[in-house]
């Protein structure tokens, strides 16, 4: 017993030094990562990476036979409305194409999606509803079950950051002629400058009235970096599972 206590003390001291060593490294890496993300947000790299995710798997050109809207957000929500808006545009450009609306089985959300497409000119008899599939892989499998013609040209509509993985996931389950039609959002064409002093800005506060890039673009790019990092993690996971 007398020997055990000093031994335990030595082990605790050694363990403490190891934890302290690796904790310092973790702080160093985390700090460097945060600095790097902040620095990149001052460049257009986040925008270009996000755009690459939307286009790298192949963007749709010409006529398509099937339009697949991949849901997953609530209704109404910005991401879902953007997808439905893009799907309705495609439906007008391809009047003979069927429209597959894919969303986990939440009756209210699906009903609102149908209504939104209807408001944008897509008739109900063109729609096929798929209420199974809780991730992109599962949705791809469910869509292929419903397809009569596996050679039909398919356009996928989803968020740009999800497009690369989605197209590859559909190809992996046997849909060869599939392309992407990303639901891009569009920034306002306005400079957003304002008169700092005129609207009561304080003299001691930084005047960023003529710098919308710092007020908006920087923060938007920070969010875009997180979106892209999450998507690359999902791509790696799908690759490990042989889903893409």
Convert the pLDDT of each residue in 13-22 to its tens digit: 777 777 887 8
- 179's CB contacts (< 8 A; 6+ apart) are 57, 58, 59, 60, 61, 64, 153, 154, 155, 156, 167
Cα–Cα distance between 47 and 11 in angstroms, integer?
50
CA dist 82 → 52, 69, 78, 164, 181 (Å)? 19, 11, 6, 18, 12
Instruction: Give the bridge partners for 154, in sequence order.
Output: 66, 178
Q: Which CATH class is domain 51-180?
A: alpha beta
Cα–Cα distance between 69 and 86 in angstroms, integer?
9
Three-state DSSP at 61 gives coil
Tokens 């400079």, residue? 191
* pLDDT greater than 60 at residue 1: no
Of residues 86 and 107, which shows the higher confidence score?
86
Three-state DSSP at 19 gives helix
Task: Classify residue 35 as left (phi > 0), alpha (psi -120 to 50) or beta.
Answer: alpha
The mean-pLDDT minimum among 24-38, 131-145, 153-167 falls in: 24-38
Band of residue 76 on the pLDDT scale cut at 50, 70, 90: confident
pTM of the model: 0.86
**Can you give the residue ranges of every domain in the chain?**
51-180
């Amino acid at each position: 017993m007398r020997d055990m206590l000093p031994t335990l003390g030595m082990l605790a001291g050694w363990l403490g030094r190891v934890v302290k060593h690796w904790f310092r490294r973790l702080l160093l890496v985390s700090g460097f990562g945060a600095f790097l993300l902040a620095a990149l947000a001052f460049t257009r790299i986040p925008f270009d990476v996000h755009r690459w995710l939307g286009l790298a798997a192949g963007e749709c050109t010409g006529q398509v036979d099937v339009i697949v809207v991949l849901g997953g957000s609530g209704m109404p929500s910005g991401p879902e409305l953007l997808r439905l808006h893009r799907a309705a545009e495609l439906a007008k450009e391809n009047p003979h194409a069927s429209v597959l609306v894919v969303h986990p089985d939440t009756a209210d959300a699906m009903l609102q999606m149908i209504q939104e497409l209807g408001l944008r000119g897509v008739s109900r008899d063109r729609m096929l509803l798929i209420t199974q599939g809780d991730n992109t892989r599962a949705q791809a499998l469910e869509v292929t079950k419903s397809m009569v013609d596996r050679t039909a040209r398919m356009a996928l509509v989803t968020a740009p950051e999800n497009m690369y993985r989605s197209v590859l996931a559909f190809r992996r389950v046997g849909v060869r002629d599939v392309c992407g039609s990303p639901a891009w959002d569009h920034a306002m064409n306005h400079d957003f400058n304002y008169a700092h002093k005129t609207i009561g800005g304080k003299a001691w506060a930084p005047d960023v009235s003529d710098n919308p890039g710092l007020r908006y673009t920087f923060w938007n790019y920070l969010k875009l970096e997180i979106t892209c990092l999450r998507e690359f993690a999902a791509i790696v996971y799908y690759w490990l599972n042989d889903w893409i």
